C-alpha cells in the first residue's frame, strides 16, 4: 500500500498502464544500493545509451508498481533488461520517482551549494528541504490522453489530378490528441538523442505519442468536429504531422505537455542574512545525473 515519504504519497502522478491494462499508481520503493551505484558508475553505458541507462537505474530503485514486480524481474535478467512496467512510466513520473527515491534513501535535504541573494548581495549556503516542493496537478485528467487545439494545423494540399488524391487531402487537421510520453518511448528513439539537439529529439518522441487527429471548424457559427483522420492516412504522413506544423502550433503542443502533472522543482529559500525569499531551481539531474 502507498506509504508516505516526507508527506508525499508513494505513488506515481500519472501512473502506468501495461498492455492496455488498468492504470496503476501505487509505488513501492527500494533504497539505493550497490546495484544502483554500479549502474550510476557506468559512464560508458550512460554516454552511449542514456535512456536505457536511466531505465536500469530506476529499475534498481523500484520494488513494484501496483501488481507489477520490478526489481525481481530486473534481477532475474542479471540487471540488464528494463522491465515492461518501467518502460510504461511517463517521463514526468520518472523524475518524480527519482525525487521520492532520493528522500527514501538519503532523507529530505539536498545540498545546493552557495548562492548569492539578489536583495542583500550576500552569499548563502543552501541546504534545500525537498519536502517543501510542490506537485503541480493538471485541471483535466491527462493520464491516458489529452487534446490540443492547434491554430493553423496540418494541411496536405490536394493535387491537380483528382484520381491521385486521398479523402484527407485538402482538409485542415487541427486537433491533435496525445498520450503522455514514456521512458520506453525515449529508449526506442535513443539513437536520435543528442544533448545539442533536444528540441528535435523531444518532438520526435512527442510525434510518436500522437494517438489521433481530428478536423474542427465552424459551421453556422458553432465550432465542432468535421472529420477523423483515418489510421492509414495517419501512418502515411507519420512524423510529417508534427514536423510540418508551424512554430506556434508546435509551441501549443509543447505547452500541453508542460501541463502534465509533475513536481515543480522551484525551491524557495529564506535568506539567512536579510530574510528575503530566494527562488532557485533544484536541478532534477541531482537525482539522475544525465549525460553531459
Ligand atoms: Zn539576503
Q: Ligand 1: distance of its center to the CA of 131 in Å?
A: 23
How high is the pLDDT of residue 285?
79
C-alpha cell read off for 173: 487537421
Q: Ligand 1: distance of its center to the CA of 110 in Å?
A: 20
Tens of pLDDT, residues 32-71: 999 999 999 998 998 899 999 999 999 999 999 999 999 9
Q: Ligand 1: distance of its center to the CA of 103 in Å?
A: 28
Q: Ligand 1: distance of its center to the CA of 121 in Å?
A: 6
SS3 234: helix
Three-class DSSP labels, 92-132: HHHHHHHHHHHHHHHCCEEEEEEEECCCCCCEEEEEEEHHH
Q: What is the mean pLDDT of residues 171-184?
A: 97
* pLDDT band of 292, cuts 50, 70, 90: very low
Q: Ligand 1: distance of its center to the CA of 278 in Å?
A: 8
Q: Ligand 1: distance of its center to the CA of 117 in Å?
A: 5
Q: Ligand 1: distance of its center to the CA of 188 in Å?
A: 47
- Sequence-distant (6+) residues with CB within 8 A of 281 are 265, 266, 267
| pTM of the predicted structure, to 2 decimals | 0.91
Alpha-carbon span 115 to 113, nearest angstrom: 7
Q: Ligand 1: distance of its center to the CA of 113 in Å?
A: 15
Q: What is the phi/psi pair of residue 17, to 5°?
A: -130, 115
How high is the pLDDT of residue 289?
63
Alpha-carbon span 151 to 288, nearest angstrom: 37
Q: Ligand 1: distance of its center to the CA of 277 in Å?
A: 8
Q: Ligand 1: distance of its center to the CA of 123 in Å?
A: 8
Q: What is the mean pLDDT of residues 72-96?
A: 97
- Sequence-distant (6+) residues with CB within 8 A of 160 are none
How high is the pLDDT of residue 278?
95
Q: Ligand 1: distance of its center to the CA of 270 in Å?
A: 8
* pLDDT band of 100, cuts 50, 70, 90: very high
Q: Ligand 1: distance of its center to the CA of 114 in Å?
A: 12
Nearest one of 104, 135, 33 to 75, comparing CA atoms: 33
Is 50 exceeded by the pLDDT of residue 28? yes
How high is the pLDDT of residue 89?
98
* H helix or E strand, kind and range, residue 148: strand 146-155
Q: What is the mean pLDDT of residues 69-76?
A: 98
Q: Ligand 1: distance of its center to the CA of 109 in Å?
A: 21
How high is the pLDDT of residue 2?
54
Q: Ligand 1: distance of its center to the CA of 63 in Å?
A: 43
Q: Ligand 1: distance of its center to the CA of 287 in Å?
A: 28
C-alpha cell read off for 108: 529530505
Is 60 exceeded by the pLDDT of residue 235? yes
Residues with CB under 5 A from ligand 1 (ion): 117, 119-120, 271, 273-274
Domain edges within the chain: 4-137+261-286, 146-258
Alpha-carbon span 285 to 292, nearest angstrom: 10
Q: Ligand 1: distance of its center to the CA of 134 in Å?
A: 23
Alpha-carbon span 44 to 38, nearest angstrom: 12
Q: Sort 147 into a burial class: Cβ within 10 Å, 0-12 / 13-18 / 19+.
A: middle
Alpha-carbon span 128 to 120, nearest angstrom: 20
C-alpha cell read off for 165: 488524391
Three-class DSSP labels, 70-99: CHHHHHHCCCCCCCHHHHCCEHHHHHHHHH
- Sequence-distant (6+) residues with CB within 8 A of 20 are none
Q: Ligand 1: distance of its center to the CA of 126 in Å?
A: 12
Residue 103 near residue 287 (C-beta atoms within 8 A): no
* pLDDT band of 31, cuts 50, 70, 90: very high
* pLDDT band of 164, cuts 50, 70, 90: confident
Alpha-carbon span 105 to 124, nearest angstrom: 26
Q: What is the mean pLDDT of residues 158-175?
A: 92
Amino acid at each position: 500500500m502507498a506509504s508516505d515519504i516526507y508527506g508525499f504519497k508513494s505513488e506515481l502522478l500519472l501512473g502506468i498502464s501495461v498492455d492496455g491494462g488498468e492504470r496503476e499508481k501505487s509505488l513501492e520503493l527500494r533504497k539505493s544500493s550497490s546495484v544502483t551505484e554500479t549502474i550510476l558508475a557506468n559512464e560508458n553505458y550512460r554516454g552511449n545509451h542514456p535512456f536505457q541507462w536511466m531505465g536500469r537505474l530506476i529499475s534498481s530503485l523500484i520494488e513494484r508498481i501496483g501488481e507489477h514486480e520490478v526489481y525481481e524481474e530486473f534481477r532475474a535478467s542479471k540487471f540488464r533488461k528494463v522491465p515492461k512496467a518501467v518502460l510504461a512510466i511517463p517521463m514526468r513520473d520518472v523524475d518524480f520517482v527519482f525525487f521520492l527515491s532520493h528522500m527514501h534513501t538519503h532523507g529530505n535535504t539536498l545540498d545546493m551549494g552557495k548562492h548569492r541573494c539578489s536583495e542583500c548581495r550576500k552569499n548563502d549556503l543552501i541546504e534545500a528541504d525537498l519536502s517543501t516542493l510542490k506537485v503541480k496537478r493538471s485541471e483535466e485528467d491527462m493520464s491516458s490522453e489529452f487534446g490540443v487545439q492547434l491554430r493553423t494545423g496540418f494541411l496536405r494540399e490536394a493535387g491537380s489530378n483528382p484520381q491521385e488524391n486521398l479523402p484527407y487531402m485538402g482538409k485542415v487537421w487541427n486537433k491533435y490528441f496525445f498520450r503522455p510520453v514514456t521512458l520506453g518511448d525515449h529508449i526506442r528513439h535513443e539513437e536520435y538523442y543528442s544533448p545539442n539537439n533536444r528540441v528535435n529529439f523531444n518532438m520526435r518522441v512527442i510525434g510518436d505519442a500522437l494517438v489521433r487527429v481530428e478536423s474542427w471548424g465552424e459551421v453556422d457559427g458553432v465550432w465542432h468536429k468535421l472529420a477523423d483522420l483515418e489510421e492509414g492516412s495517419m501512418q502515411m504522413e507519420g512524423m510529417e504531422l508534427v514536423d510540418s506544423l508551424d512554430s506556434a502550433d508546435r509551441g501549443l503542443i509543447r505547452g500541453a505537455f508542460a501541463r502534465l502533472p509533475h513536481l515543480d522543482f522551484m525551491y524557495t529559500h529564506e535568506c539567512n542574512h536579510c530574510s528575503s525569499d530566494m527562488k532557485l531551481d533544484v536541478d532534477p539531474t541531482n537525482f539522475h545525473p544525465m549525460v553531459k
